[in-house]
Amino acid sequence: MQTDPSLQTSMNYHRAILSLWAIWLVYWIVSSFGNKRAVYRTNPLWRFAALLIVVGLVAWWRSHPEFFGQRLFPRTEAAALAGTVLCAIGIGFSIWARAVLGRNWSGGPVIKEGHELVQTGPYRLVRHPIYTGILLAVLGSALAGGRVGDLMLFLTVIIMLTLKLRIEESLMQRQFGERYAEYRKRTKALIPSVF
């Protein structure tokens, strides 16, 4: 039995995107060891809220698979290729940002012992380059997938990262005061020269 060539091509891009996310996950796990000790943590309620959003989205997805599986546009090699390239750029950018942030990184909004205000590498371009990279990678994944569920995932990630960004901004302002205010004036949050 022959398979549709466009479906086969789409599956190859899907595997490439899964591989990119696997690389990202392995890097994130390995680089999470040896970080500076946290001296101040925000209320962990935001994590609970994020978990509720994810659980709610998964439950909604499972109860309406036909809706989430609908195609937004026809499956094409151009969309799959563009999505894979965007995903690769986003993964690379977030890994670069994570490497530059070094031991100051944390999975949640915290102030570290000896916390530094990093403004080099991708932090010269945007204040939250890890989020920029993740958003670009999720956008690429959604473009390659082309389904309603992919778009919903992208929108969910935007909401969750924007909420986390606001918490981090207030912590950085509290920790670095005028230095952070100056950094905010000259450097956009997520998209260089735009937002």
What would the pLDDT profile of 5-55 be if each residue is shown by its tens digit? 656 667 889 999 999 999 999 999 999 998 999 898 887 777 788 888 889
Give me the pLDDT at residue 54, please: 84
Quote the pTM value.
Answer: 0.91
Q: Which helix (H) or strand (E) holds 156?
A: helix 148-176
Residue 115 has pLDDT above 70, yes or no: yes
Here the tokens at position 110 are 């915290």
CA atoms of 49 and 21, how far apart (whole Å): 24
* Structural domains of the chain ordered from first start: 5-186 (1.20.120.1630)
In angstroms, the CA 16 to CA 28 distance is: 18
Report which residue type is found at 138: V
Judged by phi (left if over 0) then psi (alpha if -120 to 50, else beta), residue 146 lies in: left
CA R_g for the chain: 19
Judged on CB neighbours under 10 Å (0-12, 13-18, 19+), 73 is exposed
Kindly state the average pLDDT of the residues 153-177.
93
Instruction: Look at residue 171 and tell me whether its pLDDT is greater than 60.
Output: yes
Q: Alpha-carbon distance 161 to 128, whole Å?
A: 10
Is a pLDDT exceeding 60 seen at residue 3?
Answer: no
